[in-house]
Every structure is written in structure tokens, then in C-alpha cells.
Amino acid sequence: MMALILTQIDGAFSLHSSLTLVSGLMICWGFCNFVMLQFTTAPYGRYSRSGWGAMVPAKLAWFLQELPSFIVPLLIVLGRYEDFHKMNIHDKALIGIFLAHYFHRTFIFPLRIKGGKPIPLFPFLVAMFFCSVNGAVQTYGVLLRNSEIRHWCPHARFYSGILMFLGGMYINIRSDVILTRLKDQSEGTYKIPRGFLFEYVSGANFLGEIVEWIGFSVACFNVPSVAFAVFTLCNIGPRALHHHRFYRQKFEDYPKTRKALIPFIL
């Protein structure tokens, strides 16, 4: 859907202008969410509550809302396969790691959810819309980057960004596994996460995802990827602070030196 919209927009504006516009709107959306999340919590997961529409089972919601981020890039690549075939190995790698993240998020992560709280319809639909938009914007962003600077790729920046992405992905997945096992052991009740980066921060999984997309933006070095990194930070950064507050209020013995998101700092 978003790919078709961007194609139609391209008739009136250049694709570059369209991507810049959508990226700017994404940053504005992220900042608005950041401000709103200073006063409330996003209504899903442990903060799920009524008043936001019918409830969608957690596994189904995560699968469906993340699916566009995997399917949309594939459809764009298939539709513009000649452009993709001409891309250099660096740009193909960027699309590849984006797909790898969302393959895990779509097809593996939901299967690990056990007893998750249902997600209200409204935030579920908003998430699905965002994933559709972002999947198209990031893919077209790499395609456009390829057409403009195909032979320009500062290796140090590119590879450092890729390493950041892979490191963040490892942190994110390992932290999710720790939380899943903890939930299995606690039979639905909340316990203090232990081990790995949870010894330093309450939101190790969020830290990992933020590092991922900052790394992606460093490697891509374009406006859409920076917009996505900003949007991610604005949305799940506050959620890490909410989790930290939740744990400190719930557990008297919660580690005093543990921070919310950034070890030893925040």
C-alpha cells in the first residue's frame, strides 16, 4: 500500500522529495510521542488497558503488525528487481539486515510470547500502519541512495554501522530470551530480570533495538534511516524509563545502581 502511495506521489514530486517529506513527518511523529509518553504509558504489554478498542491476542498482534516491515520491502525489491540487481554489495547488505531484523520480529519473536496481554486494536493498527510506511521508506531510501552514490561508500563508517546494528540485534534478541525465560519461570508474575545487560539497565532489550537502528542510520547515512532511529529512540526510550519505574515501585530490593536505559548514566 505505502509503496503504491509513494509511487503515485512521485508523479508530482521526485521520489527523493517524497522520502524527505515522509521522513520529516516520522521525526515529528516521534517527538509528539515522546512528549505524550512523559505523561502516560503506551497501552500494550504490561500497560495494556481498555478504552483503546477491542483486544487482539498478543501473538497474533505482534505477527500482523510487524509483517508489513518484512513483506513491503520484499515486494518493492521484486517490483524493482533490475534496480536491486544493479546495487552494490553494501546496499544489498543494508536491505538484507533490515529484512533479517523483521524476519525475527515477525516469525520468531511472536512464537516466544507466552501468556502475553492482548493488545488494544488502536495501538495495533497504528503499529501496523507505521511498519507499512517504514518498510517502504527504508527500502526506497536504500534504492535511492544506491542510484545517487553507488560508488561512494566510506568503508569505516559503513562497517562500523553494520557492527553497531549486529551488536544491537544480539543485545535485543538475547535480552528478549532472558525476559521470556523469566516469564516462564515466574508463571505469569513479574520478577526482577537478571543477567547480561540487565545487571546494568532495566531496558536492555530497548537499548539493543536503539543501538540497532542508530547503527543502521550510520551505515545508510541517509535521511530515512536517521528518521527511523530518532523515531525508535523517542518511542521505546520512554518505555525503558517506564519499566524502570515499574520495577522500582514493585520490588523493594530492586538494584539501586541499575539504570533505566544507558549503563551508569540514565
**What pLDDT, in 10s, does the model give residues 164-208?**
999 999 999 999 999 988 887 767 688 999 999 999 999 999 999
Mean pLDDT value across residues 139-143 = 93
Mean pLDDT over 230-236 rounds to: 98
pLDDT at 7: 54
Local confidence band at 87 (pLDDT 50, 70, 90 cut-offs): confident
Phi and psi dihedrals of 38, rounded to 5? -75, -15
What mean pLDDT comes out for the span 62-80? 95
For residues 202 and 242, what is the distance between their CA atoms, to the nearest angstrom?
Answer: 9
pLDDT digits (tens, 9 = 90+) for 240-250: 999 999 999 99
Residues 172 and 236: beta-carbon distance below 8 Å: no
Which of the residue ranges 46-55, 134-143, 223-232 would you say has the lowest mean pLDDT?
46-55
Q: How far apart are CA 78 and CA 165, in angstroms?
A: 25
Lowest mean pLDDT among 48-52, 82-86, 195-199, 235-239: 82-86
Q: Stretch 30-40: mean pLDDT, rounded?
A: 96
The letter for the amino acid at 246 is F
Which pLDDT score, from 0 to 100, does residue 124 have?
95
* Per-residue b or e along 221-233, where b marks 16 or more CB atoms closer than 10 Å to that residue's CB: bbbbbbbbbbbbb
Q: How many CA atoms lie within 13 A of 23 on its CB side?
A: 21
SS3 37: coil
Return the pLDDT at 113: 86
| Alpha carbons 46 and 33: distance in angstroms, whole number | 18
Best CA proximity match to 232, nearest among 154, 130, 145, 164 = 130
Hey, how many other C-beta atoms are within 10 angstroms of the C-beta on 95? Answer: 21
* Average pLDDT value over all residues in the chain: 90
Side-chain half-sphere CA neighbours of 135 within 13 A: 29
Spell out the domain ranges in the chain: 2-250
Quote the cell numbers at residue 10. Answer: 512521485
Nearest to 264 by CA among 199, 216, 212: 199
